[in-house]
Amino acid sequence: MTDIEKMSAAARAAGRALALTDTKTKNDALLLMADRILKNKDRIKEANAKDMLFAREKGISGAMLKRLELTDGKMAQMAEGIRQIASLQDPVGEVIKGYKRPNGLEVRKIRVPLGVIGIVYESRPNVTADVAALCLKSGNACIMRGGSEAINSNLAIAEMIVSACREAGIPEGSVNIVRTTDRAAVLEILKQKQYIDCIIPRGGKGLIRFCIENSDVPVIEHGDGNCHTYVDRSADPARAEKLVFNAKVQNPSVCNATECLLVHKDIAPSFLPKTAGRLADAGVELRGCEKTVRLLPNIKKASPDDWATEYNDLILSVKIVEDLGEAVEHIGKYGSGHSESIIADSASAIAYFQSACDASAVFVNCSTRFNDGFELGMGAEMGISTQKLHARGPMGLSEMTTSKYIVTGNGQCRE
């Protein structure tokens, strides 16, 4: 047995015990985790300083360095996030449905933990705390494998988490961190079908593709967000301007920010110039289709690649469409199934857009930025799933469980 295999087998056993652990014990462990992280923040910062030094030596850029750095503020946030997870309802044991069959059998479908979750992630060390807390609360053992760039920070955080779990009486082996950071370790995790129930990759496209192509364990994909906002001819132009601005500018680096603006040709002349001006003032670079460029001669022309690009930046592609049908078709061709929004007052346009857009969430007269676990009311999230199986949209604690039928009879036989 290799180390990863041993760790996985132990996690399977721990997961079975953790599934039977009561909510209070899990919450106690979470609150203890938060305390430990704050009390030991200097030790964590020391470990983080090593990672930062190594990253600078490797010539890693500003944005990535910033994600890697653990400031006092970030550690306070980390602890606060764990406390919030402690305050959420335990999904385990929820009766999803229950009914009685004609032969008297009582059927209940109840929520139970998945078992063992493998998380393969990159860069941000606070993911270690988030993931461990979400898995613990949902009764799942976890195996975490972070990237080499954050290994010292990850190990320091994991040490606090593991010791808090031990003190609170969480089954030994419930929270695991892999110490080796090469791809071979990832590959081995992906083959532990016997012991691991689900793999969640959190990171760049390369990592996600590697997991999908190599895993025997089911993968929950948190993919791209090439999100659109469509402004219909029936839209209120002032509302549309406000919503497009929010969807692009409020936080351009995240997956639910709008990357492409689609505008009905009838409203374009009255709507686009003013909105474009406001966006440009906020530093947004616009890249337009031919018709858009005719209307806004100062902007850059979009290349065919632009329609398929998730910028994660202050860039917005703009296309004027003949009608709603063309907008929906464009989204069907280029969208990543994440978040699509329509700004309109026509009930029939709204109804068609809602049904015809194949995405995890469709927004009507509001910003795509609301595709988020906190905003949709499920509390903390593991990420936003862009696949269709098991979890679609924000993946909260409920989505980290599976179900089990409990069927109770008094001697019923099948005839």
Two tokens, residue 334: 């280029």
Residue 6 binds to its own copies (criterion: CB under 8 A): no
C-beta of residue 401 within 8 angstroms of C-beta of residue 112: yes
- Measured from the CB atom, is 42 or 415 closer to its own copies? 415
C-beta of residue 175 within 8 angstroms of C-beta of residue 161: yes
Can you tell me the distance from the alpha carbon of 333 to that of 329, in angstroms, rounded to the nearest whole number?
6
Q: Which stretch, 82-90, 121-129, 309-317, 372-380, contacts its own copies (CB under 8 A)?
A: 372-380
- Measured from the CB atom, is 41 or 228 closer to its own copies? 228
**Burial class of residue 173 in the structure, from the number of CB atoms within 10 Å of its CB (0-12 exposed, 13-18 middle, 19+ buried):** buried
Amino acid identity of residue 328, one-letter, is V
Residue 402 binds to its own copies (criterion: CB under 8 A): yes
Can you tell me the distance from the alpha carbon of 48 to that of 70, in angstroms, rounded to the nearest whole number?
7
According to CB under 8 A, which residues from 59 to 88 bind its own copies? none
Helix (H) or strand (E) holding 202: strand 198-202
Residue 171 binds to its own copies (criterion: CB under 8 A): no
Give the nearest distance from C-beta 245 to its own copies in angstroms. 8
Give the nearest distance from C-beta 232 to its own copies in angstroms. 14
C-beta of residue 119 within 8 angstroms of C-beta of residue 200: yes
Q: Which stretch, 72-80, 142-150, 214-222, 311-319, contacts its own copies (CB under 8 A)?
A: 214-222
Residue 136 binds to its own copies (criterion: CB under 8 A): no
Give the nearest distance from C-beta 210 to its own copies in angstroms. 11
Give the nearest distance from C-beta 249 to its own copies in angstroms. 10
Residue 243 binds to its own copies (criterion: CB under 8 A): yes
Residue with tokens 């910003």: 367
Can you tell me the distance from the alpha carbon of 131 to that of 176, in angstroms, rounded to the nearest whole number?
11
Give the nearest distance from C-beta 247 to its own copies in angstroms. 8
Amino acid identity of residue 317, one-letter, is S
The single residue among 369, 382, 386, 397 that binds its own copies, judged by CB under 8 A, is 369
Residue 393 binds to its own copies (criterion: CB under 8 A): yes
Can you tell me the distance from the alpha carbon of 133 to that of 84, in angstroms, rounded to the nearest whole number?
10
Can you tell me the distance from the alpha carbon of 227 to that of 387, in angstroms, rounded to the nearest whole number?
15
| Contact track, its own copies, 13-42, x by CB under 8 A | ---x--xx----------------------
DSSP readout, 129-190? HHHHHHHHHTT-EEEEE--GGGHHHHHHHHHHHHHHHHHHTPPTTSEEE----SHHHHHHHH
| Contact track, its own copies, 252-291, x by CB under 8 A | ----------------------------------------
The single residue among 34, 143, 157, 198 that binds its own copies, judged by CB under 8 A, is 198
Interacting residues toward its own copies by CB under 8 A: 16, 19-20, 99, 101, 105, 107, 112, 114-115, 193, 197-198, 212-213, 216, 218-220, 239, 242-243, 246, 250-251, 332, 354-356, 358-367, 369-371, 375-377, 387-390, 392-393, 402-415
